[in-house]
Structure 1
């Protein structure tokens, strides 16, 4: 199929529209001019006839009038009430040849509008435009005859031909102007499309720093506005992709590092046991070390599996009412050794009547992750687990006196793979950078909220608010 460029399509469309308008206007003007010419001729001939009738149709007046109008090729003819020519005088009696209906109209005093005849009153071939005007006797006001004033059609046609020639010349010039205007209009529209096309190529090459001018005038400007929104969205997406890709690379490096250390330890101990290089009194300790490193690897894998399950909605919550203080005590007991290793003190501030409505296991996972996070960033400090009932909701706080979080980092701590401090890479807890991301996802699944307040160098407070559902009676 032959390719027809949009430029030529637009140019042809504009040209056709302009030419159609010109043709319609030209024909309309020609018709109007023709009607106007004939009407003017008719009124002019009526004027001559009326002047003759008002002068009582004296022969001398008729002769003078005919002499004056001869240059205009206008002929004056008078007929009596029997439709016989009485002026100019002729040997033969000539009739007007009008129809009976028109003759009756004249008898009633009605004038006959412009008629076109192919012959004159003498039978000669000659196209004439004729008007008829009746006249009456002054004393009795009886019909006495009528005046016929004629003019050759050739004069009218000459006027119309000159008008058509002028109009045709104007049409040719207008056609040339139409071509130029069509060219300009088409170029203007195509330039706007090429601007979008160029911008699209720029975006396709990966450059999203582009903005099209939008005057909000028509659909092209609307398209430019939509393009700008698309470019901004793509730019934001590209930044997010790069951001996540950097996190992924960092995560892979961190995971490789974290897995390499325990795997190297396990491999070294296994080789020592295999070649009997470890003393008998150290073999039990070696096995304990391998167990610890294995659990560390399992924890690393499980955190990633948990996060993916939560994101893909494969986690189903089994909510129930349970005592908050008893649960917090169990968490403290579970993490007490880890807290002691960092010389931290774990405390509980929770009335015995505080209840939580949540999935028990997932709630424990949330508190354990937050508490471990507090232990990790607190040395020789205090970590407090606080529980309250406020406004029909359960509030849990994990408060520490650790190193705190920089204000610039607070919004990022919930992101997957994020580590606010390089030192976290070498700690035994939170190796994956997924702990807080998992916490946030689990909190959201519960329809709960979590917020963080932190002062750098003084400590951090994580606040959880769980909606509370009354027990069924």
Structure 2
């Protein structure tokens, strides 16, 4: 199917190339014929006998015909070369044109498949718990509350997933105008937002940012990115002894926001895919009580790309993770 799309697009490109080639060939032949049919000026005629003049015109006409034939043969050969070269060039252009579209289609199909799978899991749990409850002739109040509690938990999961999908869709929309803001203020807002969550898990949040340093950036996008990174760090920080650091560092040409945790870390193989949608590491980093759908970091990466920022990770297994958001100076 993919090859058929490439060939169809290549043939379309080839049709355009050959149409232009044929048009220019007709123009070249017409101009050449016009020049050959042009009569010599009177001053160029030499007074000669009628026989010599007839021979001269005959030879001139024969030369003109031979020239026309050579022009036609040359144009046919040129168009033949253009046909072969144009088809090759059309295939190259078609592949380059369709490559990002194919990737987008594949990503969309994978996204739909992953989203369907994530939706199916809590729905199946809801269906199963309700079917088991319905099979029982007598359902005690305690058992009913247990079933309802399970249903509420699954509904919360569905709500979180739908909110994450909405956030992902919003992250691909148009951005607001950049604003001038104190870096310590934006870090303080994120810390205040997650202080109660960290306290409940007995995780410390430490912040460090230079006071009075203002930078121009996409405030809402940066706030959301930092919120995702801090939320992710709290999830994977060990309970009671966990520590999350969020700090800002001003460089000559950029400002960096850094979020660190002392969790299980991320392997080099997982780091290659950590920003992909629905991706969750299969090693130690998932052997915690953290729950999620693998969309948070994908949203952060999408937002960063939309703003022209870069986000990368430094981590080793059992050595925590460090996410760095780099914002060029404006």
**Fold shared, TM-score > 0.5 on shorter chain:** yes
Q: Does 1:453 align with 2:313?
A: yes
In structure 2, the residue matched to 1:194 is 83
Residues 31-75 of structure 1 show CA distances to partners (whole Å, capped at 9, x for unaligned) of: xx23xxxxxxxxxxxxxxxxxxxxxxxxxxxxxxxxxxxxxxxxx
Alignment partner of 1:461: what SS? strand
Q: 1:353 & 1:10 partners in 2: Cα distance?
A: 71
TM-score normalised to structure 1 length: 0.50
Q: Is the 8 A contact 1:378 1:403 kept in 2?
A: no
Pairs within 5 Å for 1:78-89:
none
Q: 2:107 & 2:300 partners in 1: Cα distance?
A: 18
Q: CA deviation at 1:434?
A: 2.9
In structure 2, the residue matched to 1:24 is 40
Q: Is the 8 A contact 2:190 2:223 kept in 1?
A: yes
In structure 1, the residue matched to 2:49 is 160
Q: Is the 8 A contact 1:325 1:351 kept in 2?
A: no
Q: CA deviation at 1:399?
A: 1.4
Q: Is the 8 A contact 1:331 1:364 kept in 2?
A: no
Q: Does 1:240 align with 2:103?
A: no
Alignment partner of 2:313: what SS? strand
Alignment partner of 2:108: what SS? helix
TM-score normalised to structure 2 length: 0.68
Q: 1:296 & 1:245 partners in 2: Cα distance?
A: 27
1:236/1:379 Cα in 2 relative to 1: closer, same or farther (>3 Å)? farther
Q: Does 1:429 align with 2:291?
A: yes
Q: Does 1:333 align with 2:196?
A: yes
Alignment partner of 1:312: what SS? coil
Q: CA deviation at 1:171?
A: 1.6
Superposition CA RMSD, Å: 4.5
Q: 2:229 aligns with which of 366, 370, 380?
A: 370
1:6/1:192 Cα in 2 relative to 1: closer, same or farther (>3 Å)? farther
Q: CA deviation at 1:369?
A: 2.0
1:261/1:8 Cα in 2 relative to 1: closer, same or farther (>3 Å)? closer
Q: CA deviation at 1:331?
A: 1.0
Residues 74-104 of structure 1 show CA distances to partners (whole Å, capped at 9, x for unaligned) of: xxxxxxxxxxxxxxxxxxxxxxxxxxxxxxx
Q: 2:125 & 2:61 partners in 1: Cα distance?
A: 96
Q: 2:309 & 2:124 partners in 1: Cα distance?
A: 41
Q: Is the 8 A contact 2:114 2:278 kept in 1?
A: no
More strand by share: 1
Alignment partner of 2:265: what SS? coil
In structure 1, the residue matched to 2:16 is none
Q: Is the 8 A contact 2:203 2:234 kept in 1?
A: no
Q: What number of residue pairs does the alignment pair up?
A: 298
Q: Is the 8 A contact 1:388 1:395 kept in 2?
A: yes
Q: 1:236 & 1:265 partners in 2: Cα distance?
A: 45
Q: 1:290 & 1:361 partners in 2: Cα distance?
A: 34
Q: Which structure ranks higher in relative contact order (CA pairs < 8 Å, sequence separation ≥ 6)?
A: 2
Q: 1:316 & 1:277 partners in 2: Cα distance?
A: 61
Q: 2:238 & 2:101 partners in 1: Cα distance?
A: 36
In structure 2, the residue matched to 1:77 is none
Q: CA deviation at 1:235?
A: 2.4
Runs of 5+ unmatched residues, structure 1: 35-158, 211-230
Alignment partner of 2:230: what SS? helix
Q: Is the 8 A contact 2:315 2:322 kept in 1?
A: no
Pairs within 5 Å for 1:161-180:
161-180=50-69
Q: Is the 8 A contact 1:14 1:186 kept in 2?
A: no
Q: Is the 8 A contact 1:331 1:367 kept in 2?
A: no
In structure 1, the residue matched to 2:203 is 346
In structure 1, the residue matched to 2:167 is 306
Q: 1:170 & 1:468 partners in 2: Cα distance?
A: 77
Q: CA deviation at 1:164?
A: 0.7
